[in-house]
A and B are shown apart, each in its own frame.
Chain A
Protein backbone atom coordinates (compact mmCIF):
# COMPACT_ATOMS: atom_id res chain seq x y z
CA UNK A 1 0.00 0.00 0.00
CA UNK A 2 2.92 2.37 0.74
CA UNK A 3 4.10 2.17 -2.87
CA UNK A 4 0.57 2.86 -4.11
CA UNK A 5 0.18 5.99 -1.97
CA UNK A 6 3.74 7.08 -2.81
CA UNK A 7 2.95 6.84 -6.55
CA UNK A 8 -0.31 8.79 -6.24
CA UNK A 9 1.31 11.42 -4.00
CA UNK A 10 4.31 11.74 -6.36
CA UNK A 11 1.97 12.29 -9.33
CA UNK A 12 0.19 15.17 -7.63
CA UNK A 13 3.40 16.66 -6.22
CA UNK A 14 4.84 16.81 -9.77
CA UNK A 15 1.68 18.46 -11.13
CA UNK A 16 1.42 20.93 -8.24
CA UNK A 17 5.09 21.93 -8.53
CA UNK A 18 4.59 22.56 -12.25
CA UNK A 19 1.42 24.59 -11.61
CA UNK A 20 3.42 26.57 -9.02
CA UNK A 21 6.05 27.45 -11.64
CA UNK A 22 3.26 28.59 -13.99
CA UNK A 23 1.80 30.88 -11.30
CA UNK A 24 5.27 32.32 -10.59
CA UNK A 25 5.86 32.97 -14.30
CA UNK A 26 2.44 34.69 -14.55
CA UNK A 27 3.29 36.95 -11.59
CA UNK A 28 6.68 37.87 -13.08
CA UNK A 29 5.08 38.66 -16.44
CA UNK A 30 2.31 40.76 -14.84
CA UNK A 31 5.00 42.76 -13.02
CA UNK A 32 6.88 43.37 -16.27
CA UNK A 33 3.65 44.49 -18.02
CA UNK A 34 2.87 46.88 -15.14
CA UNK A 35 6.40 48.35 -15.37
CA UNK A 36 6.03 48.80 -19.12
CA UNK A 37 2.73 50.66 -18.67
CA UNK A 38 4.32 53.22 -16.31
Chain B
Protein backbone atom coordinates (compact mmCIF):
# COMPACT_ATOMS: atom_id res chain seq x y z
CA UNK B 1 0.00 0.00 0.00
CA UNK B 2 1.44 3.39 -0.97
CA UNK B 3 1.94 6.25 1.49
CA UNK B 4 -0.69 8.26 -0.42
CA UNK B 5 -3.33 5.59 0.26
CA UNK B 6 -2.31 5.24 3.88
CA UNK B 7 -2.63 8.99 4.51
CA UNK B 8 -6.49 9.17 4.79
CA UNK B 9 -6.59 6.05 7.00
CA UNK B 10 -3.94 7.47 9.31
CA UNK B 11 -5.77 10.85 9.24
CA UNK B 12 -9.04 9.22 10.28
CA UNK B 13 -7.37 7.25 13.08
CA UNK B 14 -5.68 10.43 14.33
CA UNK B 15 -9.01 12.32 14.32
CA UNK B 16 -10.65 9.52 16.36
CA UNK B 17 -7.71 9.44 18.77
CA UNK B 18 -7.73 13.25 19.19
CA UNK B 19 -11.48 13.21 19.92
CA UNK B 20 -11.06 10.42 22.46
CA UNK B 21 -8.12 12.26 24.06
CA UNK B 22 -10.21 15.45 24.28
CA UNK B 23 -13.03 13.52 25.99
CA UNK B 24 -10.56 11.95 28.42
CA UNK B 25 -9.00 15.36 29.22
CA UNK B 26 -12.24 17.31 29.67
CA UNK B 27 -14.59 14.68 31.12
CA UNK B 28 -12.97 11.43 32.24
CA UNK B 29 -9.82 12.72 34.00
CA UNK B 30 -10.22 13.34 37.75
CA UNK B 31 -10.48 16.98 38.87
CA UNK B 32 -7.39 18.25 40.67
CA UNK B 33 -8.22 19.33 44.25
CA UNK B 34 -6.23 22.61 44.52
CA UNK B 35 -6.55 24.11 41.03
CA UNK B 36 -9.89 22.61 39.99
CA UNK B 37 -10.86 22.28 36.33
CA UNK B 38 -8.26 24.76 35.03
CA UNK B 39 -5.61 22.09 35.75
CA UNK B 40 -6.96 20.22 32.69
CA UNK B 41 -4.91 22.65 30.54
CA UNK B 42 -2.06 20.32 31.62
CA UNK B 43 -3.30 17.67 29.13
CA UNK B 44 -2.65 20.03 26.20
CA UNK B 45 0.26 22.07 27.58
CA UNK B 46 2.61 19.20 28.54
CA UNK B 47 2.10 16.92 25.47
CA UNK B 48 2.60 19.96 23.19
CA UNK B 49 5.89 20.73 24.96
CA UNK B 50 7.11 17.12 24.68
CA UNK B 51 6.14 17.01 20.99
CA UNK B 52 7.98 20.30 20.33
CA UNK B 53 11.11 18.96 22.09
CA UNK B 54 10.99 15.77 20.04
CA UNK B 55 10.65 17.73 16.78
CA UNK B 56 13.53 20.05 17.73
CA UNK B 57 15.59 16.96 18.51
CA UNK B 58 14.80 15.52 15.05
CA UNK B 59 15.86 18.89 13.60
CA UNK B 60 19.13 18.62 15.58
CA UNK B 61 19.83 15.07 14.31
CA UNK B 62 19.05 16.09 10.71
CA UNK B 63 21.25 19.19 10.96
CA UNK B 64 24.19 17.16 12.31
CA UNK B 65 23.74 14.61 9.51
CA UNK B 66 23.55 17.34 6.86
CA UNK B 67 26.83 18.80 8.11
CA UNK B 68 28.80 15.54 8.53
CA UNK B 69 27.57 13.47 5.59
CA UNK B 70 29.56 15.52 3.10
CA UNK B 71 32.77 14.36 4.84
CA UNK B 72 33.26 10.55 5.20
CA UNK B 73 35.66 10.88 8.17
CA UNK B 74 33.31 13.21 10.10
CA UNK B 75 30.44 10.89 9.24
CA UNK B 76 32.26 7.86 10.65
CA UNK B 77 33.31 9.76 13.80
CA UNK B 78 29.68 10.88 14.38
CA UNK B 79 28.38 7.31 13.92
CA UNK B 80 30.78 6.00 16.55
CA UNK B 81 29.97 8.94 18.88
CA UNK B 82 26.25 8.10 18.69
CA UNK B 83 26.99 4.42 19.42
CA UNK B 84 29.22 5.48 22.35
CA UNK B 85 26.40 7.69 23.74
CA UNK B 86 23.96 4.76 23.64
CA UNK B 87 26.46 2.41 25.34
CA UNK B 88 27.37 5.07 27.96
CA UNK B 89 23.66 5.62 28.77
CA UNK B 90 23.10 1.86 29.25
CA UNK B 91 26.24 1.47 31.38
CA UNK B 92 25.43 4.58 33.49
CA UNK B 93 21.90 3.29 34.08
CA UNK B 94 23.20 0.14 35.74
CA UNK B 95 26.44 1.39 37.33
CA UNK B 96 25.55 4.79 38.88
CA UNK B 97 23.35 4.48 41.99
CA UNK B 98 21.37 6.60 42.61
CA UNK B 99 21.13 8.52 39.33
CA UNK B 100 20.98 12.34 39.61
CA UNK B 101 17.56 14.00 40.17
CA UNK B 102 15.92 10.62 40.85
CA UNK B 103 16.10 9.53 37.19
CA UNK B 104 14.94 5.98 36.51
CA UNK B 105 17.75 3.68 35.20
CA UNK B 106 15.38 2.18 32.61
CA UNK B 107 14.46 5.61 31.20
CA UNK B 108 18.15 6.64 30.94
CA UNK B 109 19.02 3.42 29.06
CA UNK B 110 15.92 3.71 26.82
CA UNK B 111 16.72 7.36 26.00
CA UNK B 112 20.29 6.42 24.98
CA UNK B 113 19.07 3.60 22.75
CA UNK B 114 16.26 5.77 21.29
CA UNK B 115 18.76 8.52 20.35
CA UNK B 116 20.94 5.99 18.50
CA UNK B 117 17.89 4.33 16.92
CA UNK B 118 16.51 7.63 15.64
CA UNK B 119 19.91 8.71 14.30
CA UNK B 120 20.47 5.53 12.29
CA UNK B 121 16.82 5.32 11.11
CA UNK B 122 17.05 8.83 9.63
CA UNK B 123 20.43 7.98 8.11
CA UNK B 124 19.09 4.79 6.50
CA UNK B 125 15.91 6.26 4.97
CA UNK B 126 16.88 9.85 4.06
CA UNK B 127 19.52 11.03 1.62
CA UNK B 128 21.60 14.13 2.50
CA UNK B 129 19.24 16.43 0.56
CA UNK B 130 16.14 14.82 2.07
CA UNK B 131 17.63 15.15 5.56
CA UNK B 132 17.82 18.91 4.97
CA UNK B 133 14.13 18.92 3.97
CA UNK B 134 13.24 16.94 7.11
CA UNK B 135 15.18 19.48 9.22
CA UNK B 136 13.07 22.37 7.86
CA UNK B 137 9.84 20.42 8.38
CA UNK B 138 10.61 19.39 11.96
CA UNK B 139 11.66 22.93 12.92
CA UNK B 140 8.50 24.46 11.44
CA UNK B 141 6.07 21.99 13.06
CA UNK B 142 8.11 22.21 16.30
CA UNK B 143 7.62 26.00 16.34
CA UNK B 144 3.84 25.49 15.99
CA UNK B 145 3.79 23.18 19.03
CA UNK B 146 6.11 25.50 20.97
CA UNK B 147 3.69 28.37 20.21
CA UNK B 148 0.89 26.27 21.75
CA UNK B 149 3.05 25.83 24.88
CA UNK B 150 3.73 29.57 25.12
CA UNK B 151 0.02 30.42 24.72
CA UNK B 152 -1.50 27.75 26.99
CA UNK B 153 1.13 28.37 29.70
CA UNK B 154 0.06 31.96 30.52
CA UNK B 155 -3.62 30.94 30.25
CA UNK B 156 -2.93 28.38 32.97
CA UNK B 157 -0.66 30.69 35.00
CA UNK B 158 -3.15 33.58 35.26
CA UNK B 159 -5.80 31.81 37.39
CA UNK B 160 -3.25 29.73 39.35
CA UNK B 161 -0.33 32.12 40.00
CA UNK B 162 -2.28 35.37 39.53
CA UNK B 163 0.14 36.51 36.78
CA UNK B 164 0.35 35.89 33.04
CA UNK B 165 4.14 35.66 32.85
CA UNK B 166 7.27 35.72 34.99
CA UNK B 167 10.89 35.81 33.84
CA UNK B 168 11.96 32.59 35.55
CA UNK B 169 14.41 30.16 33.93
CA UNK B 170 11.88 27.65 32.53
CA UNK B 171 9.63 30.27 30.94
CA UNK B 172 12.46 32.47 29.64
CA UNK B 173 14.45 29.54 28.18
CA UNK B 174 11.28 28.30 26.41
CA UNK B 175 10.75 31.75 24.91
CA UNK B 176 14.43 31.86 23.83
CA UNK B 177 14.03 28.39 22.26
CA UNK B 178 11.02 29.61 20.28
CA UNK B 179 12.93 32.73 19.14
CA UNK B 180 15.95 30.62 18.05
CA UNK B 181 13.76 28.42 15.83
CA UNK B 182 11.85 31.43 14.49
CA UNK B 183 15.21 32.90 13.44
CA UNK B 184 16.14 29.53 11.91
CA UNK B 185 12.94 29.55 9.82
CA UNK B 186 13.48 33.19 8.81
CA UNK B 187 17.03 32.37 7.70
CA UNK B 188 15.70 29.50 5.57
CA UNK B 189 12.90 31.64 4.16
CA UNK B 190 14.76 34.82 3.25
CA UNK B 191 18.40 33.88 2.62
CA UNK B 192 19.14 33.22 -1.05
CA UNK B 193 22.76 32.14 -0.56
CA UNK B 194 23.81 28.64 -1.65
CA UNK B 195 25.29 28.24 1.83
CA UNK B 196 21.90 28.68 3.56
CA UNK B 197 21.36 24.97 4.44
CA UNK B 198 24.85 24.79 6.00
CA UNK B 199 24.38 28.03 7.99
CA UNK B 200 20.90 26.94 9.10
CA UNK B 201 22.21 23.51 10.17
CA UNK B 202 24.95 25.17 12.25
CA UNK B 203 22.36 27.49 13.86
CA UNK B 204 20.11 24.50 14.61
CA UNK B 205 22.94 22.60 16.31
CA UNK B 206 23.53 25.54 18.67
CA UNK B 207 19.79 26.15 19.06
CA UNK B 208 19.22 22.56 20.16
CA UNK B 209 21.52 23.16 23.14
CA UNK B 210 18.65 25.16 24.64
CA UNK B 211 16.34 22.10 24.70
CA UNK B 212 18.10 20.32 27.62
CA UNK B 213 18.31 23.69 29.43
CA UNK B 214 14.53 24.10 29.12
CA UNK B 215 13.87 20.50 30.15
CA UNK B 216 16.22 20.31 33.14
CA UNK B 217 15.81 23.94 34.32
CA UNK B 218 13.10 22.99 36.82
CA UNK B 219 15.41 20.41 38.37
CA UNK B 220 18.50 22.62 38.47
CA UNK B 221 17.03 26.03 39.40
CA UNK B 222 14.35 27.22 41.82
CA UNK B 223 11.55 28.27 39.50
CA UNK B 224 7.98 29.48 39.65
CA UNK B 225 7.14 26.68 37.21
CA UNK B 226 6.05 23.46 38.99
CA UNK B 227 8.48 20.58 39.49
CA UNK B 228 8.26 17.60 37.07
CA UNK B 229 5.22 15.41 37.65
CA UNK B 230 6.69 12.25 36.16
CA UNK B 231 10.30 11.08 36.59
CA UNK B 232 12.74 12.93 38.82
CA UNK B 233 10.78 12.13 41.95
CA UNK B 234 7.52 13.66 40.70
CA UNK B 235 4.20 12.13 41.66
CA UNK B 236 1.00 12.07 39.63
CA UNK B 237 -2.32 10.26 40.00
CA UNK B 238 -2.15 7.10 37.78
CA UNK B 239 -5.42 8.04 36.02
CA UNK B 240 -4.08 11.54 35.26
CA UNK B 241 -0.87 9.98 33.90
CA UNK B 242 -2.93 7.70 31.67
CA UNK B 243 -4.90 10.67 30.26
CA UNK B 244 -1.66 12.62 29.78
CA UNK B 245 -0.10 9.75 27.80
CA UNK B 246 -3.25 9.30 25.66
CA UNK B 247 -3.14 13.00 24.79
CA UNK B 248 0.58 12.81 24.00
CA UNK B 249 0.00 9.83 21.71
CA UNK B 250 -2.80 11.74 19.95
CA UNK B 251 -0.59 14.83 19.50
CA UNK B 252 2.31 12.67 18.28
CA UNK B 253 0.05 11.12 15.60
CA UNK B 254 -1.20 14.59 14.65
CA UNK B 255 2.37 15.95 14.47
CA UNK B 256 3.36 12.95 12.33
CA UNK B 257 0.51 13.65 9.95
CA UNK B 258 1.33 17.36 9.68
CA UNK B 259 5.06 16.60 9.18
CA UNK B 260 4.17 14.10 6.47
CA UNK B 261 2.10 16.71 4.55
CA UNK B 262 4.70 19.43 5.05
CA UNK B 263 7.51 17.07 3.93
CA UNK B 264 5.67 16.23 0.69
CA UNK B 265 5.16 19.96 0.11
CA UNK B 266 8.86 20.68 0.71
CA UNK B 267 10.00 17.92 -1.67
CA UNK B 268 7.54 19.12 -4.33
CA UNK B 269 8.76 22.72 -3.91
CA UNK B 270 12.41 21.68 -4.29
CA UNK B 271 11.66 19.59 -7.39
CA UNK B 272 9.78 22.51 -8.93
CA UNK B 273 12.66 24.89 -8.24
CA UNK B 274 15.10 22.44 -9.84
CA UNK B 275 12.88 22.11 -12.93
CA UNK B 276 12.50 25.90 -13.21
CA UNK B 277 16.27 26.36 -12.92
CA UNK B 278 16.87 23.70 -15.57
CA UNK B 279 14.32 25.28 -17.88
CA UNK B 280 15.92 28.70 -17.47
CA UNK B 281 19.27 27.18 -18.45
CA UNK B 282 17.89 25.42 -21.52
CA UNK B 283 15.89 28.41 -22.73
CA UNK B 284 17.53 30.00 -25.83
CA UNK B 285 18.92 33.45 -25.04
CA UNK B 286 17.53 36.37 -26.99
CA UNK B 287 20.13 38.12 -29.20
CA UNK B 288 21.39 41.43 -27.76
* Proximity string of chain B (167-207) to chain A, C-beta cutoff 8 Å, 1 when within and 0 when not: 00000000000000000000000000000000000000000
| Most chain B CB neighbours (cut-off 10 Å) among A11, A14, A25, A33 | A11
Out of A4, A14, A32, name the residue touching B41 (CB < 8 Å).
A4
Q: Is the interface of A mostly helix, strand, loop or mixed?
A: helix
Q: Is the interface of B mostly helix, strand, loop or mixed?
A: helix
* Proximity string of chain A (1-32) to chain B, C-beta cutoff 8 Å, 1 when within and 0 when not: 10110111011001100110010011001001
Give the docked Cα–Cα distance between A8 and B38 (Å).
11
Out of A7, A18, A29, name the residue touching B269 (CB < 8 Å).
A29
Out of A1, A11, A22, name the residue touching B38 (CB < 8 Å).
A1
User: Across the interface, do B144 and A7 meet the contact criterion of CB distance under 8 Å?
Assistant: no
Name the B residues within 8 Å of A26 (CB-CB): 265
Q: What bracket does the count of chain A residues touching chain B fall in? A: 10 to 19
- Name which of B67-75, B149-157, B215-223 contacts chain A: B149-157
B98 within 8 A of partner (CB): no
B76 within 8 A of partner (CB): no
B147 within 8 A of partner (CB): yes
Using CB atoms, name the residue of chain B closest to A18. Answer: B144
| Most chain B CB neighbours (cut-off 10 Å) among A1, A10, A29, A36 | A10
User: Across the interface, do B156 and A22 meet the contact criterion of CB distance under 8 Å?
Assistant: no
Using CB atoms, name the residue of chain A closest to B48. Answer: A11
User: Across the interface, do A7 and B261 meet the contact criterion of CB distance under 8 Å?
Assistant: no
B268 within 8 A of partner (CB): yes
For window 10-45 of B, CB contacts with A under 8 Å fall at 22, 26, 37-38, 40-41, 44-45
* B258 → chain A closest CB, angstroms: 7
* B133 → chain A closest CB, angstroms: 14
B283 within 8 A of partner (CB): no
- Contact A1/B37 with A7-B45, A26-B265, A29-B268 known, Cβ cut-off 8 Å: yes
User: Across the interface, do A36 and B279 meet the contact criterion of CB distance under 8 Å?
Assistant: yes
User: Across the interface, do B144 and A3 meet the contact criterion of CB distance under 8 Å?
Assistant: no
User: Across the interface, do A10 and B152 meet the contact criterion of CB distance under 8 Å?
Assistant: yes
